[in-house]
Amino acid sequence: DAIKDMQRNWIGKSIGAEIDFKFENSNDNIRVFTTRIDTIFGVTFMVIAPESNYTDQLTTPDQRIEVEKYVVAAKNRSERDRISNVKQVSGVFTGSYVMHPFTDQKIPVWIADYVLAGYGTGAVMAVPSGDQRDFDFGKKYQLPIVQIIDQQNITETEADSTKNGKMVNSSFLNGLTPIQAIPKGIEAIVEKGI
């Protein structure tokens, strides 16, 4: 029983926060789960799973054909294949944007098969400076990559997931270590009601 309790409580358990990103043209939002709220100012795009409930809602008429083709192709691949194929990222733009919860900047919403609907909320706030898949995706589709930790060593081919250093380009989190920025970020999203 003790082992079962341990497994129930810890295997696959992640501690973090959920945060809402409001749609550009409505009061609806995408909720994402993150263990790294300290990286919120490094978000330059959003990625949703092909089978996400948001897919239909966010796909604009001019992107519909391309999105439908991509979704069909993604559904023909196994989840294992989708998450294990780290060398080759692919995606399609929905045509829609969500608003950054602190800067009000427009963030493009993409569909990518490396995001799974059954994992978390099926949506990822992409931080290409610190996550290799987001980095590869951002590079491929020429999306911005913002350094958010002063000791990050981002190269032409690699992100840097370091948690050492101080936050930069991060508004009210600037000067804090990532460990200090996490509770401060959570406090801010609670305060904003998002």
pLDDT in tens, 22-75: 999 889 999 999 999 999 999 999 999 999 989 999 999 999 999 999 999 888
What letter does residue 26 receive in the DSSP assignment? S
Cα dihedral 141, 172, 182, 147, rounded to 10, equals: 30
Residue 83: the pLDDT is 63
- pLDDT band at 11; cut points 50, 70, 90: low
Q: Of 4-8, 67-71, 105-109, 147-151, which range is least confident? A: 4-8
What token pair was written down for 90?
A: 């692919």
Query: Which one has a higher pLDDT value, 40 or 3?
Result: 40
C-beta separation of 113 from 91 below 8 A: yes
What token pair was written down for 89?
A: 């990222």
Q: Give the three-class secondary structure for 10.
A: helix
What token pair was written down for 133?
A: 């898949």
Q: How far apart are CA 188 and CA 194, in angstroms?
A: 9
Q: How far apart are CA 3 and CA 6, in angstroms?
A: 5
Q: Please determine, for residue 2, whether its predicted confidence score (pLDDT) is greater than 90.
A: no
C-beta separation of 92 from 110 below 8 A: yes
Could you count the other beta carbons within 10 Å of the beta carbon of residue 151? Answer: 12
Q: Please determine, for residue 102, whether its predicted confidence score (pLDDT) is greater than 70.
A: yes
Model confidence pLDDT, tens digit, residues 120-162: 778 999 999 999 999 999 999 999 999 999 999 999 999 999 9
What letter does residue 63 receive in the DSSP assignment? G
Q: Please determine, for residue 7, whether its predicted confidence score (pLDDT) is greater than 90.
A: no
- pLDDT band at 116; cut points 50, 70, 90: confident
- pLDDT band at 165; cut points 50, 70, 90: very high
> pTM, whole model, 2 decimals?
0.88
Q: How far apart are CA 142 and CA 19, in angstroms?
A: 25
